[in-house]
Amino acid sequence: MGYVGRATLRTLAADAGIRLTGVLYLVSTAAFLGVGVAPDAADWAVMVDRNRTGLFVQPWAVVVPALLIVALTTGTNLVFDAALEKTPRRKGRRP
């Protein structure tokens, strides 16, 4: 990999993490609105949509899938950030 590739690697990985988070939120929003995913599919956003009528009876049926969506997107960004932190050492140099 050349100089340009090494210089843009961090930027491209950060951009991929942001885009993946955006896609996860877009798919969740579409499933919540009933677009694209079957209403009986095993999807977290569908679970939130189906259980919101009983929000005051059993709030965990709505809160847990919503928190799982947030945890997935946050974890994805943290994984990309951790991957960017590791910089390869060059041979022959001391830190």
Q: Which helix (DSSP H) or strand (DSSP E) does residue 22 occupy?
A: helix 3-33
| Torsional class of 34: left (φ above 0), alpha (ψ -120 to 50), beta (otherwise) | left
Residue 89 has pLDDT above 60, yes or no: no
| Cβ atoms 12, 19 nearer than 8 A | no
- Structure confidence at residue 38 as a pLDDT band (50, 70, 90): confident
Q: Is the pLDDT of residue 93 over 70?
A: no
Predicted model pTM: 0.66
Mean pLDDT, range 28-52, rounded to an integer: 80
Cβ-proximal residues to 55 (8 Å cutoff; 6+ apart), any chain: 62
d(C-alpha 67, C-alpha 29), whole Å: 14
What the block records as the tokens of 74 is 């946050």
